[in-house]
Structure 1
Amino acid sequence: MNTPNWILQRARLTPERVAISWGEEQWTFREVAERSMDIARKMRGTGLREGDRVALLTSGGPETVFLIHGGLLAGFELVMLNIRLTEAELAYQIKDSGAEAVFTDDLLLDRAPDSTAVSRLLAGEGTDFEPAALWEEDRTLTIMYTSGTTGFPKGVRQTAGNHLSSAVASVLNMGLQEGDVWLCAMPLFHISGFSILCRSLIYGMTVRLQTKFDAEASAKEIAEGSVTTMSAVSAQLVRVLDILESQNQKASGNFRQILAGGGPVPSPYIRRAEALGIQILQTYGMTETSSQTATLAAEDALRKTGSSGKPLFFNRIRIDGAERPGDEGEILISGPHVTPGYVGRFGDRPAQEDGWLHTGDIGRVDEEGFLYVLDRRSDLIISGGENIYPAEIEQVLAGHPAIAEAGVAGVEDERWGQVPAAFIVARKDVTAEELEAYCRERLAPYKVPKYYRFVGELPRNASNKLLRRELRDKFELQE
């Protein structure tokens, strides 16, 4: 099935409705389409052709929205790069994706030395062309990288059909009202942020942009009712609640809900939010599923503490090997929102087996059909909403000449939820300070271990597999 070009179709349907609001500025859908089409012509003017893969390394804000929409109008597959990565990490993703070009914010040029500055692109000459009126369902719109358990990031393909089914399933669950405004404080290079842009075009809804999360501004907008919905992770949610409580404010009657991802929201936070007039909708999703797969309704939040809810309308979830409700096993997902596959190093690996995505997450489904995620991809560390895989950090540490073995596990942290802790078997003298400096040169800041523990050996099972849960237990005993 083909779908109308979302950008052009929305500009035709509601041209004067506000699409993007940022600070004191705003742009209608017509203005967004015009700005984006101008950028699309300039992108094509560099010699790029429809179907080319193009990477974007941008900080956010309205100019990033125009650049994204311009790339889609030009017919490119957009590789969304995380600005928090190191130069080496970015170089790997750019090469692995096969990107023909990289467009980078001027202030980020040192992170991707061979890229083209956005200012240079905008100053260039454009080439006239006719954008596609229809987008094929299986057309890849975006590629986003998510770390794999091997330590090598995987480039996940997300098609027009994936994004469309995700957006429609979300609105069937959450509803849509006239005047809805979604506060987007999530990075646009993440599926959490990008999916809000997709919903805006498909619903005809205004997006209130923040270049980066601003807790004070978010609390003010929620209290004033200038926004109706927000996406957040637990760490952001808590900061907003703290501010509202400290100022003795509540959410405006216009504000409807916060969509909370990045792990379960503790019951005390839900109670605090309810007291402030805020509904919390907890979700479970991943890059491979173009955002939400399951969502917990606000009325079930306390009754089903720790649950991620039920699958959205088009989606199915089952527990591999489960014979009865409550049995634990790997979470499998099926639906039109699931990626058709990967690119680069993992391009030959099938994303689905017999129509099911094997998530690697362990969970259970109760007798009412509510999903409980017991361990995010077994050893995944979720720190402030960012996914961190221990294997990637271990691989970096293993390259240090003083290290014989390294194991990494997530430990509890009041601010970030979890942070990585490294357990080191040293072959010669080395300090924690030296290891931190070594990691900072090779890893994004949020991946750098916050603790270093020197041990005689690492816990392993009979198959010599590292037991990271035992590392976590060991850390707690040492505290």
Structure 2
Amino acid sequence: MFIEPRDAHAPAVRVATPGGAGTDTSWAALRDTAAAVSDRARRLRRDAPVVVVVDGTAESIATVLGLVDAGVDVLLLEERSSHLADPRSPVHRLASPAVIGPPSMPDASTPHGPVRLSYEAVRQPGRLPAGAVGGSAGATTPSRPGEILQLTSGSTGQPRIARQTLDNVLAGARAYCELFRITGADVVLVAVPVAHSYGLAGTLAALLSQALLVTLPRFSIRSLVAGLDEGATVLLGTPLLYKLLVPVLAARRRPTRVRTALSAGGPLDADTAARIGDLLGSPIRQIYGITEAGLVACVPQALTDWPAGSVGPAAPGVTLRIEGEAATDAADPTATTGVGGPARTGRLLVRTPALFRGYWGTPERGLTDDGFYDTGDVVRLDADGHLFVLGRKDSFVNVGGRKVNPRRVEQVLTGHPHVREAFVYGAERPDGEQEIHAAVVLDPASTAEEVLAHCRAASLMPYEVPHHVHTIDRLPRSGMGKVDRQRLLALVARPSPGPAAPVHP
């Protein structure tokens, strides 16, 4: 393993449970499990990546480390991921020789599919089925470590599978250690899926710094609170997680040991950021990262004051470029922007130390000719170098030639006292024009018509008011708390007793 712990018998990973009695795994056990996986995995077929369902336990983390050490490329999936069952998912196009997962996963082949193996089966002698084996016993040392493959968010369509080298992933984790001053004295609570690039970076940062890593294989607010009660000093969360945590901590009124609270996966509204920061005793530091490019910007530990809503300055080694400027100065709209320049707004391209190797199954690099990755996000960079993410260019709705930012409409909607959640998106009409749709979760006392009246009375222009409002019980979300657009569209397409309320500006 790439880590030599100071004390092999000290706990490396602790699994937090709602009851508060976490399960510890020592460094020695973590290392031995990874080594056993590495030894057996050298016989696995190499014609396609192996899929690993990462449930956040020490066993799952050791399995990933062992496979990569054996030179096996691995695609990481969250537990309960819908991609395994969805034949349209890019995961099915991998033709993977094996899917490795929790103990509940049977050791068996599926018709016309990969062999399914438990974590234990991978490291036990004689447990690898013939269909998964492609090498002989005692296989030679691999020529390179395995690659880490991860699904992109699929913000504007089907997800893709991005390829990353182990060196890049470790470099990102080391950046977390340096930027947030993570040391062996810390307790790092990763309250997000380890399979996600953000969760993986936090997990590896904890291991590299030899801090105690606390994970939540079965997420619940009770297990999260139990993790905090374990003495967490560094917390990795999402906007949704912090929103759910506010009323719980407000009722407890018990101090925490958190010194650094990080948020990624989407915008965190100012009210939630202020309230949870006060309850935790630590301000929320935003992180802006991308599966294809790693860490792009963040609010580091050294920064004590930053503008509200900012995701911080560019991370070390990152170059930002603003294109297609939406106009705050007359400078070259394709120029690389840094601290001290005029404020800029436009589409963001980045070059980072951890740029991906491309997408699985396609020769395209996914980069511009000069090595930049187009994030698709519209951002503002102020004169002091603070970055603000305004939304995705592809998500802007074109209403009669006028661009509408869905995030702005969402902010107005959630300003209504009876709107719990809202997601705004554009949909094309049969004539090719776009309309604004809003999916909202309402209190029982409210109606779609009341919400629309609120929008008309607020600061929205007439063309920004949603044409259709769909009332639903809850927004479908991924493990990172992001709205699952594909599931949402399928949900609102179903006939419902309460039809959407249309309005035409």
Structures share a fold, TM > 0.5?
yes
Q: Does 1:228 align with 2:233?
A: yes
Partner residue of 1:200?
Answer: 206
Whole-Å separation in 2 of the counterparts to 1:164 and 1:414: 43
Q: Quick check: 2:48–2:94 contact (8 Å CA) kept in 1?
A: no
Compared CA separation, residues 339 and 408, structure 1 to 2 (3 A): farther
Partner residue of 2:81?
Answer: 84
**Is the partner of 2:161 in helix, strand or coil?**
strand
Pairing partner for 2:487 from 438, 444, 447 = 447
Whole-Å separation in 2 of the counterparts to 1:22 and 1:155: 28
TM-fit CA distance, 1:220: 4.1
Whole-Å separation in 2 of the counterparts to 1:281 and 1:308: 8
TM-fit CA distance, 1:192: 1.8
Partner residue of 2:11?
Answer: 18
Partner residue of 1:3?
Answer: none
Instruction: Give deviations 1:60-109, integer Å, cap 9, x for gaps.
Output: 32221122122112211101134321545366323433533322446456
TM-fit CA distance, 1:231: 0.9
Whole-Å separation in 1 of the counterparts to 2:236 and 2:267: 14
1:128-277 to 2 correspondences below 5 Å: 128=138, 141-148=147-154, 151-222=157-228, 224=229, 226-252=231-257, 255-276=258-279, 277=281
Pairing partner for 1:374 from 384, 387, 390 = 390
Q: Quick check: 1:251–1:278 contact (8 Å CA) kept in 2?
A: no
Pairing partner for 2:348 from 322, 326, 331 = 331
TM-fit CA distance, 1:37: 1.7
Instruction: Give deviations 1:421-448, integer Å, cap 9, x for gaps.
Output: x999xxxxxx999xx9xxxxxx979823
Whole-Å separation in 2 of the counterparts to 1:218 and 1:331: 34
Partner residue of 2:403?
Answer: none
Compared CA separation, residues 40 and 475, structure 1 to 2 (3 A): farther
Compared CA separation, residues 91 and 149, structure 1 to 2 (3 A): closer
Instruction: Give deviations 1:132-153, integer Å, cap 9, x for gaps.
Output: 6xx86xx652111225577332
Q: Quick check: 1:216–1:243 contact (8 Å CA) kept in 2?
A: no
**Is the partner of 2:157 in helix, strand or coil?**
coil
The structure whose residues are more often strand, as a share, is 1
**Is the partner of 2:38 in helix, strand or coil?**
helix
Q: Which has the higher contact order (CA 8 A, sep 6+)?
A: 1
TM-fit CA distance, 1:373: 0.6
Q: Quick check: 1:86–1:111 contact (8 Å CA) kept in 2?
A: no
TM-fit CA distance, 1:54: 1.1
Whole-Å separation in 2 of the counterparts to 1:377 and 1:166: 26
Compared CA separation, residues 31 and 339, structure 1 to 2 (3 A): same
TM-fit CA distance, 1:280: 0.8
Most deviating of 351-360 and 51-60? 51-60
Whole-Å separation in 2 of the counterparts to 1:414 and 1:279: 30
Whole-Å separation in 1 of the counterparts to 2:467 and 2:93: 30
Partner residue of 2:117?
Answer: 117
Pairing partner for 1:280 from 262, 275, 284 = 284
Task: Work out the number of aligned pairs and report it.
Answer: 411
TM-fit CA distance, 1:360: 0.7
1:303-318 to 2 correspondences below 5 Å: 303-318=306-321
Partner residue of 1:68?
Answer: 64
What percent of counterpart residues are identical?
20
Instruction: Give deviations 1:18-67, integer Å, cap 9, x for gaps.
Output: 2211243222222211112212333334x435x85211134332221122
Compared CA separation, residues 129 and 14, structure 1 to 2 (3 A): farther
Q: Quick check: 2:30–2:59 contact (8 Å CA) kept in 1?
A: no
Whole-Å separation in 1 of the counterparts to 2:301 and 2:276: 11
Using structure 2 for the length normalisation, give the TM-score: 0.69
**Is the partner of 2:74 in helix, strand or coil?**
strand
Partner residue of 2:401?
Answer: none
Compared CA separation, residues 289 and 89, structure 1 to 2 (3 A): farther
Compared CA separation, residues 306 and 148, structure 1 to 2 (3 A): same
Instruction: Give deviations 1:348-376, integer Å, cap 9, x for gaps.
Output: 24334412111111111000000011103
Partner residue of 2:373?
Answer: 357
1:342-421 to 2 correspondences below 5 Å: 342-344=359-361, 346-376=362-392, 378-379=394-395, 411=439
Instruction: Give deviations 1:245-280, integer Å, cap 9, x for gaps.
Output: 11122223xx21111012222222222133221221
Gaps in structure 2 of 5+ consecutive residues: 17-21, 128-136, 326-330, 332-340, 397-405, 411-422, 444-465, 476-482
TM-fit CA distance, 1:225: 5.6
TM-fit CA distance, 1:236: 0.4
Whole-Å separation in 2 of the counterparts to 1:130 and 1:143: 23
Paired amino acid for 1:308: V
Compared CA separation, residues 266 and 12, structure 1 to 2 (3 A): closer
Partner residue of 2:31?
Answer: 33
RMSD (CA atoms): 4.3
Q: Quick check: 2:467–2:503 contact (8 Å CA) kept in 1?
A: no
Compared CA separation, residues 390 and 287, structure 1 to 2 (3 A): farther
Using structure 1 for the length normalisation, give the TM-score: 0.72
